């Protein structure tokens, strides 16, 4: 399941993030890569333990947890502290799969990486190349979203960032552990919630069938939740 979530950050928020990030010191992006990923990773990132990354990351998480579409799609249990990367001309990230478990030494958090997240902080016309390519059973999917929007995709997927040939691609990237470990029931739960929200708009939240279907939704989560 690959889901795009628009407008997680406003354009004003993105401009503020970029102003702070442009003035910051960056480091080699391979410092947070696993052994296999480090062989194909060529970009820069904000120091993960630095004050700037942590402060911006907290603002990202605050925006995520108040975004209904993100919560519905991810059913998040734990969100890894967001990281921030930058791709200039010639930078790329070859085909790889994310580590199954990530640990944060500052907080002691350890998560199973069920979903990967890329939050775009550059507009598509600011750079050429730099597309996120995600592979699944149905083929390859190319993602290049407006600044402030994000994509959720299975962390188990092979994926890559194509070489940047003009401009600069800036993004936040991170992982989360979902309450619903298995992707198939998570997708079903998301579909049910999507139907409920559509019915609420047409019939109201107190409609008898909406109430019954909402009960089904919560019982599905109760059955599959791992908390």
**All residues at 6 or more sequence positions from 108 whose CB lies less than 8 Å from its CB, including other chains:** none
Q: Which residues contact 223 (CB under 8 A, 6 or more apart)?
A: none
* Same-domain check for residues 28 and 119: yes
Segments forming the whole domain that contains residue 41: 3-178
For residues 173 and 81, what is the distance between their CA atoms, to the nearest angstrom? 9
* Number of structural domains the chain divides into: 2
pLDDT digits (tens, 9 = 90+) for 119-165: 999 999 999 999 999 998 888 999 999 999 999 999 999 999 999 99
pTM of the predicted model, to two decimals? Answer: 0.94
Say if residues 171 and 85 touch (Cβ distance below 8 Å): yes
159-173 pLDDT, tens digit each: 999 999 999 999 999
How far apart are the C-alpha atoms of 197 and 195, rounded to whole Å? 5
Same domain, 130 and 220: no
Paired sense of beta strands 101-103 and 110-112, if any? antiparallel
Judgement on whether residues 190 and 168 belong to the same structural domain of the protein: no
Note whether 18 and 106 are same-domain residues.
yes
Q: pLDDT of 99-108, one tens digit each?
A: 999 999 899 9
Distances in whole angstroms, Cα of residue 141 to Cα of each of 86, 157, 165, 179 = 21, 11, 20, 26
**Does residue 163 share a domain with residue 217?**
no
- Look at residue 227 in the predicted model and tell me its pLDDT: 87
Q: Are residues 39 and 108 in the same domain?
A: yes
Same domain assignment for residues 170 and 187? no
Taken as a whole, the chain contains a residue count of 227
Q: How far apart are CA 33 and CA 37, in angstroms?
A: 5
Residues 196, 157: one domain?
Answer: no
Four-residue CA torsion sign, 62, 60, 142, 167? positive
Which residues in the chain come in under a pLDDT of 50? none
Task: Based on the fold, state whether residues 129 and 146 are members of the same structural domain.
Answer: yes
Q: Are residues 99 and 139 in the same domain?
A: yes
Q: Is there a single domain that holds both residue 20 and residue 122?
A: yes
């Amino acid at each position: 399941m690959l889901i795009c979530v628009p407008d997680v950050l406003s354009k004003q928020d993105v401009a503020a993030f970029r102003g702070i990030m442009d003035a910051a010191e960056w480091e080699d992006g391979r410092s947070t890569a696993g052994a296999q990923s480090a062989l194909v990773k060529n970009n820069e990132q904000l120091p993960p333990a630095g004050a700037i990354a942590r402060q911006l990351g907290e603002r990202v998480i605050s925006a995520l947890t108040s975004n209904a579409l993100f919560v519905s799609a991810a059913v998040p249990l734990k969100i890894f502290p967001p990281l921030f990367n930058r791709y200039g001309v010639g930078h790329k990230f070859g085909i790889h799969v994310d580590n199954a478990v990530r640990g944060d030494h500052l907080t002691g958090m350890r998560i199973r990486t069920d979903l990967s997240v890329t939050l775009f902080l550059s507009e598509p016309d600011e750079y050429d190349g730099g597309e996120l390519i995600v592979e699944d059973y149905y083929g390859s999917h190319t993602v290049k979203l407006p600044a402030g929007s994000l994509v959720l995709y299975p962390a188990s997927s092979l994926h890559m960032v194509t070489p940047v040939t003009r401009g600069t691609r800036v993004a936040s990237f991170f992982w989360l552990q979902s309450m619903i470990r298995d992707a198939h029931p998570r997708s079903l739960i998301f579909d049910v919630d999507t139907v409920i929200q559509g019915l609420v708009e047409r019939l109201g939240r107190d409609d008898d069938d909406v109430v019954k279907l909402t009960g089904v939704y919560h019982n599905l989560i109760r059955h599959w939740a791992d908390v």
